Amino acid sequence: MTIPFVLMRGGTSKAVFLRSDTLPHDAKQRDMVILSLFGSPDPRQVDGLGGADLLTSKLAIIDAPSRPDADLDYTFAQVSITEPVVDYDINCGNISAAVGAYAIDEGIVPVVGPTTTVRIHNTNTGRVLLAEVPIVDGAAAVEGTYAVHGVPGTGAPIALDFAQTAGGITGQLLPTNNEIDVLETAIGPIEATIIDLANLTVFVRAEAVGMTGTEGPADFTEEHLGSVTAVKEAAAELLGMPTDGLTPVPAIVSPPASYTSYATGHEVTSHDVDLVARVVGGRPAVLHKAYPGTLAACTGVAARMDGTTVNAVTRRDRRILDQISIGHTSGVMPVSARVSRAAEKWIVDEATYHRTARRLAEGTAYVRNSAVAPVTIQR
């Protein structure tokens, strides 16, 4: 079986891009093809296109828009490396930037001026996000001076606004109507903030799970993982969700501090950041080597909301400014976030960050015929 594909980098991630009509319609067959395409399950993904890393075992499925306020449908899939599982319950904000560039280069969205807006319907969350793609010579710009920590070199900045994505999974920005909930976890009661923006996220302070907050991948222990997993599972139970999914995504936050960047080995100082954050995700769960774009938008918004765990650790003199600098595993990520209040509810007015993206390769992928198992149709 052959499938045409495009390989793209978006921010600190890479993904295989496929058109939906190149995959089987049956969900079980589709996932079998995807697993074979990526070479999963296998720690090295040696027999497929997967990169054997949480940040490179990703898939973007592109389809015609299913709603009038969007230019295309985009379904994100996180392909497990070691298990025969394809997860669709999250979106990737880094790959969302690549979707914008892909839409321009594939002619899905006509070029308008030096910057073109791409309205992306993310089917995972049922929400529309906006990508502002810079244009050069009728195509998505690649070269530029914008640096993304965790990516070598510089590129043209793509602005992504997730302000319209609140409540994609639960129906509201604060699923429990509380800025802070006390979760009854396997390690005891823990205060946490649950926010549904871009991706459903549970924020917890680092000390509550036995962390400093500045850990890198080598410092993240099985004990840390157990504590973070306990928080995630308790939050899922509170929301009436399965505990074995990827959401709510656990984010660990702490006040500004100095640490060494995983990507460069250089010091990130406490003066460079307004708070420090780490994310645990994937299957198997690991400490993220950078920071998901979706969670950056969510973190920035949470930092603006009085009473949240994120607001509590954010540098006090930065809480009233539009831009928040998040210290993550590989460096610093700035986010522009604005919120307001109406009818005793929080309203997200802006949740924007910038990424770079570019096309890396295109061609034909060869999937084992054995991956396409026959389906018995019951009549």
At 317 the pLDDT is 81
User: Tokens for 370?
Assistant: 């054995």
> Does residue 83 belong to any structural domain of this protein?
yes
Say if residue 137 is in the same domain as residue 190.
no
Give a yes or no: residue 313 inside a domain. Answer: yes
Same-domain status, 63 and 139 = yes
Please check whether residues 189 and 329 belong to one and the same domain: yes
Residue 273 has pLDDT above 70, yes or no: yes
Q: What is the pTM of this model?
A: 0.93
Boundaries of domain holding 268: 181-351
Do 19 and 120 belong to one domain? Answer: yes
Read off the pLDDT of residues 198-257 as tens digits, 9 standing for 90 and up. Answer: 999 999 999 999 999 999 999 999 999 999 999 999 999 999 999 999 999 999 999 999
131 and 239 inside one domain: no
Asked if residue 164 is part of any domain, the answer here is no
348 pLDDT above the threshold of 50: yes
The answer to whether residue 172 is domain-embedded is no
Cβ–Cβ under 8 Å, residues 330 and 234? no
Q: 45 with 90, same domain?
A: yes
CATH of residue 248: 3.10.310.10
pLDDT bin (cut points 50, 70, 90) of residue 376 is very low
**Whether residue 141 sits in one domain with residue 272:** no
Q: Are residues 111 and 68 located together in one domain of the fold?
A: yes
347 within domain boundaries: yes
Q: Are residues 194 and 148 in the same domain?
A: no
228 & 340 share domain? yes
Mean pLDDT of 326-331: 98
Task: Check if the beta carbon of residue 320 is closer than 8 Å to that of residue 337.
Answer: no
Q: How many domains does the chain have?
A: 2
Buried b (16+ CB within 10 A) or exposed e, 43-82: eebeebbbbbebbbbbbbbbeebeeeebbbbbbbbbbbbe
Shared domain for 339 and 193, answered yes or no, is: yes
15-72 pLDDT per residue, tens: 999 999 999 999 999 999 999 999 999 999 999 999 999 999 999 999 999 999 999 9
Whether residue 148 sits in one domain with residue 12: yes
Structure tokens at 71: 């230019």
